[in-house]
Chain A
Amino acid sequence: MAFERWFYIVRLRLRSLFRRAQVERELDEELQFQPGLTARAIARSKEECRDMRRIHIVDDFVKDLTLAIRVLRKSPVFACAATATIALGMAAAAAMFSVTNAVLLRSLPYRDAERLVLAESPVSNAAYVDLRSRTQSVFADAASVTVYRAIVPREDGSAEKISKGQVTANFFRMLGASIAFGRDFTSADAAPPAHPEPLFPPPAGSVAILSHEYFVRRYGANPTILGREMRSSGQRGPVVVGVLAPGFRLLLPGGTEPSPDVWIVNNRAYDPTHLMSDYPYRVIALLRHDVTLNRAQTKADEAAGDLRRDYPGFRIRLVNWREALTAEVRPAIEVLMGAVMFLLLIACANVANLLLVRTSQRERELAVRAALGARRGRLMRQMLAEAILLAACGTAAGIGFAHLGLRLVIHLLPANVPRADSIEIDWLVVLFSCAAGLVEAIVFAAIPAWRAARADVMRTLRAGGRGAAIAKGGFLRNGVIVAEVALSFVLLTGAGLMFRSFLELRRVNPGFDPHSLLTVLTIGDAHGFQQSERRLAFLREVQRSLLSIPGVQAVSGAPSLPLGGTGGPRRGVSWATDFAPASELQRADMPYVLPGYFEILRTRLIEGRTFTESDNAPDRNVAVIDDLTAAKAFPNQSAIGKRILVSPGAPVRLDVIGVVAHQRLASLAEPGIEQIFVTDGFHGIGISRQWALRTEADPTKIAPAVRAAIAIASNGRLAVTEMRTMEAIVDAAEARTRFQLLLIGFFAATAALLAAVGLYGVLASSVCQRTAEIGVRIAVGAEPSRIFRLVVGQGVLLSAIGIAIGGISALGLTRLMGAMLVGVKPADPCTFAAMAILFVAIAAIASWIPARRAAAIDPTAALREG
C-alpha cells in the first residue's frame, strides 16, 4: 500500500520536474474558470498549488549548481587545481579501498561463509576422522582438503604442471559449490580401495571433478570428457564425473599454491597408526547455527585431549576461515587504508584553503549580493553547491585514475595477499568514494560558507579594496595549514619508519649466502619407492648427476630450502635437554636436510661438524642445532656430545654433533624460533625435493642442463616445476616490505607536496595582503634580507607547530604499524628527527618564492597602491 502511494508520488514529482510546461498549462486550464475570484486571488491560489509540488529544493539546487558552474568556469585555474587535488586524494583512497574491500571485507565466496572455520594446522586423515566424529554437536558438517602439485605427461612428450586437490566427498556440498556439468562426489566414491596405497602421493581415487578453468584450458570445454578417463600419454587416470561452475576457488591461508585444476576424492581408509605420521589435511568445518567459535573450540579441545593421551602436544586450534585468510595482511592493509584517509584529509584541507582564499577575494561580490537582499542561507547554499560541484568532478576523476592505477597496484602486491585477482572498482568502491566526496565537500565548504554568512556587508563595501577581507581569514587559514602539516608529518614518519625497516631488512643476515645459488624444485613419484633406502639412493643419484653439470661446484638439497615457501614438511617439534623434566618441553623447527646443506648455503659452523653421507640413514640419531638452541639448552658450555630429546611423534634422543648459525627459514623479517636440523634420512623419510646448486657463473645459464640432468637421473620420474635463484627468493621475501614502503612512501610524498603547496598558497596570499605594510617597512629602511627572513620565518613557524602536533600524534599512531616494521621501534627517535628536519626544509623551500617576492617589493609602488 505504502509502495503504491509512493508510486503516485514519485511519478508526480518527476512530472513536475521534467514536464514543467505541461504541468503549468494544466494548472492554468484548471484554475481559469473561477468567477468569484480576482486575478490576484487566482494567482495566489496558483502559487499555493505550485508549492504543493514540493520540488523547490531540487529547483533551487539546480539553480545553485548552474550558477556554480558559471562561477567556476570563470576561474578555470582554481577549478582545475581544486579538482586535481581532490582527484589525487580520491584516486589513492578509491584504489586502496578496493584492495581493502576485496581482501578484507568481502565475504568468502562460499555458502554460509561466516560460519566456516578452519583448523589452524593440518592434521592426518585419521585425526580428521576422529575429530569429525567427536564434534558433531557443534559442527553441522566438516570436510578435509589437501592440495599438491602434479606433473601430467602430455601426448606430445611435454609435461603439464597441474594442481590437484584431494577432498572428502562432502566438500563441495558443504561449501555450496555448484557443479556445472555432471555430478558431485558421493560417499560411494570415497569407499577405500582394496589395496592400501603409499602415503605419498595420496591415493588417486577413481573419479575426478575438473575446475571449469581447466576444463576449458585442457579439454576445450568439450563436455564429452564426462564419464571418460583422464588418460594422458597412455597412463590411466580417474574418470571425470563432473565440472565445477566457473570461478570456484580454494582460498587457503598462506597459500601461494594455485587453486586446484583437478579435484579427486579422498578415499583413504581410516588408519589410526598414521595419526601423527602424515598430516597434509586441512580441516574445514561449518559451525551449527547457534554455536560460537569458543564453544566449538572447547569441544575440539576435548576431542584433541582424547587423542593427546597417545600423542602429547596434539592440539587443534580453530579459526574463522576469513580471519585466518586475512590475518597476515590485515595490519598492513589497515595501516595503509588509514594512511590514505590521512592523504584524503590533507587534500581536503588543501581545497578548503584554496576556497578560503577565494572567498576572501570574493568577499566584495558576496557583500554586494547580501546588500541586494540575498539571505545568508542562500549564500551558504551557493558555497556548498560550488564545493559539491568540485567534489563531484574530483571524485569522478579520482575513480577514473584509481581504475587506471589499480592494475599497477595489483601488479605490485606481494604474493601473500589473498584474492588479489578479485580487486576491482565495484559499486561498493564507487559508493565509498561518493560518500567520501560528499563528506569532503561538506568539510571544505563549511569554513568558507560560514565566513560568507558572517560577511560584514557595510565594512567590506566601505573598505572597497582587496586588503581588509583577507586579513580576517588569516587565522583560519593558518589553522588549516597547521593541521595539514601535522597530518602529512604523521604520514612522513610512517614512510620513514618503513624506509628504515626496508634498510634493516636488506641488512639482515639470513644465515646463508644467497649469491650464485640456483634452487630447483622437483616433483614426481620418487617418493613412490616403498623402502627409504631406495628413496635415499635415488636422491643420491640425482645429486650426483646434478653435480656433474659443468660449472656446478656443489649440490645439496632439502624438502624445503630457506624462504622457499614451497610448504615442504618442515615440522615443529617439542624438545628438551636430556635431563630436563617433560614439563619443560619447548618448541623448535626441525628442518630435514641432506648432507652438504650447510656447506652449500655457506651457513657458518660454530663448533663441531656437519652431516656426512653416513649420517643420512634412519638409525643415526644425530642433530645439528643452531646457536639459539645451543644458547638455550647448554648455556656457557659446549653443546657437542650433549644429547637433546625431541618428540615429533614418539620422543627420541639425539646426539648433538654441531652448532651452526641460525637461518631465517620462513621469513626474512622474523628471526623465527630455534632450529634442530636432522638428516633427510632420519625417520627414514627421504623426501628432499628442493635442490640448491652453487655455480661458478650466472646460475640461470645452466637451467636447461639441470632439466636434462634430472630427467636422465630420475629416468623421467621427476620433473622440474620451479627454478629460481636464491637471490630471487630473497628478493621475493622482501616484496612485502618493499610494497608497503612504496605505497606509504607514495602517500607521504603526495601529502608532503600538498602541504608544501598549501603552505606556499597561504604565504603568497599573506604577502599579497601585507604589500602595503612591507612597503612601509622597506621605505623606513628594512633590508630586503630581513623581509625575506620574515616570510620564511612565518612559513617555518607554521610548519614547526604542525610538526609538533604531528609528532605527538605520530607517537601514538605509528604503534599501529608494529607488525609491518623490521628492526625498528615505532617511536624510533632517529626517524622522527630526520623527518622533522626534512619537513622544515620542505617548508623553507615552499616559503622561498613568496619570500623573494616580498623582498623585491618596490616601496613606492606598494605605497601608492595601498
Chain B
Amino acid sequence: MSRPSDLVQGTLDLLLLKILALEPLHGVAIGRRLKQVSGEVLQVSDGSLYPALHKLEQSGWIKAEWKTSELGRRAKFYSLTRPGRKQLEREAAEWQRLSNAINGVVTLKEA
C-alpha cells in the first residue's frame, strides 16, 4: 500500500491520532513511525501528510508546538488534545466495529 488514496477513507486521521497518542512527534517522524509500526505496510505520502495534520489541528483534535528535534533543528511537534483523545477512542471503536463486520463477511465459509 503506497498511495494514501488506497487507505480506507478516513483511516488516515485515526492512524495519525493513534501515533500521536503514543508520544508527541513532528511531521517527518510521524511518517517514519507509521511505516515502522505497520511493518512497512502503511505509508502516507509527504504530500498528503501535512494537509491531514493541519486539518486535525484546525479541528482542535491535536495541537502543535515548536521544539528542537533530535537532529537539533526546530520542528513542529504535534500532540493530542483532550478532545482529540476522546475522538481517538470514538474512531478506534468505530474502526473495530467496521473491521469486525468486514472480517465476518470475508471469513464466511463458502458452501
Q: Which residues of A contact B (CB under 8 A)?
A: 1-2, 4-9, 12-13, 26, 29-31, 33-34, 36-37, 41, 44-46, 48-49, 51-54
Contact = CB atoms under 8 A, between A and B. Distances in A.
A45 B51 contact: yes
B81 A52 contact: no
Contact of B83 (A5, A13, A46, A48): A5
Nearest to A34: B46
A7 B84 CA distance: 13
Contacts of A7: 60
Contacts of B61: 5
Contact of A9 (B27, B28, B59): B59
Secondary structure dominating the interface of B: helix
A52 B55 contact: yes
Nearest to B75: A30
Interface of B: 27-28, 45-48, 50-51, 54-55, 57-61, 63, 66, 74-76, 81-83, 86
Given A36-B46, A37-B46, A49 B76 contact: no
Given A49-B54, A53-B58, A8 B46 contact: no
B23 to A, nearest CB: 19
B50 A9 contact: no
A5 B47 contact: no
Given A1-B86, A12-B57, A26 B76 contact: yes
Most interface-central of B27, B51, B76, B82 (chain A CB within 10 A): B51
A52 B58 contact: yes
6 tightest Cβ-Cβ pairs between the two chains A and B: A48-B51, A8-B60, A5-B60, A5-B83, A52-B54, A49-B54
A49 B50 contact: yes
Nearest to B74: A29
Contacts, number: 66
Contacts of B48: 45, 48
Secondary structure dominating the interface of A: helix
B57 to A, nearest CB: 7
B66 to A, nearest CB: 8
Most interface-central of B28, B46, B61, B75 (chain A CB within 10 A): B46
A2 B83 contact: yes
10 contacts: A2-B83, A5-B83, A8-B83, A9-B60, A12-B60, A26-B66, A33-B28, A45-B50, A48-B51, A49-B54
B37 to A, nearest CB: 20
Given A31-B50, A37-B46, A1 B27 contact: no
A809 to B, nearest CB: 52
A29 B64 CA distance: 14
A30 B69 CA distance: 12
A589 B83 CA distance: 74
Given A12-B60, A49-B51, 16 more contacts: A1-B86, A4-B82, A5-B59, A5-B83, A12-B57, A29-B74, A31-B50, A33-B28, A34-B46, A36-B45, A45-B51, A46-B50, A51-B51, A52-B58, A53-B54, A54-B58
Nearest to B28: A33
Contacts of B75: 30
B46 A4 contact: no
Nearest to A44: B47
A1 B76 contact: no
Given A2-B83, A5-B83, A33-B28, A12 B51 contact: no
